[in-house]
Amino acid sequence: ETGVTQTPRHLVMGMTNKKSLKCEQHLGHNAMYWYKQSAKKPLELMFVYNFKEQTENNSVPSRFSPECPNSSHLFLHLHTLQPEDSALYLCASSQVLAGGLGKNIQYFGAGTRLSVL
């Protein structure tokens, strides 16, 4: 079993649909992340959750709604998306120590390939 598991692997949705992406980490980490990977662009950090509290929202449109019910699970709720939101969505986790003494190593899942029609 991989350390970070994302489901589904592929998702096709219409612009009026509501869907959710799921991420689960089995590494005992306390921080989780959502990234967007579009073609020919650097990975874009979307959200950061540290100890279940959202610590970063990188100017992401409100049609993306994250949820972190506990330190092992992270969701990305999607509604009324646009075709330009089609991308690979990657989840990652890391262990963040007090005082910033962590190793800053993030472990990634295999992503969800999202296509918005």
- Does position 10 bind another protein by CB under 8 A? no
**Binding track, positions 90-109, relative to another protein; x by CB under 8 A:** x-x-x-x--xxx-xxxxxxx
Q: Which residues is 112 bridged to in the sheet?
A: 89
DSSP for 32-80 reads EEEEEE-TTS--EEEEEEETTEEEEE-S--TTEEEEEEETTEEEEEEES
* Rounded Cα distance, 67 and 89, in Å: 15
**Binding track, positions 12-51, relative to another protein; x by CB under 8 A:** -------------------x-x------xxxx-x--x-x-
**Considering only residues 74, 111, 114, 116, which one is a binding residue for another protein as defined by CB under 8 A?**
111
- Does position 54 bind another protein by CB under 8 A? no
Residues between 63 and 82 that touch another protein (CB under 8 A):
none
Q: How far is the CB of 82 from another protein (least distance, A)?
A: 23
Tokens found for residue 54: 């959202």
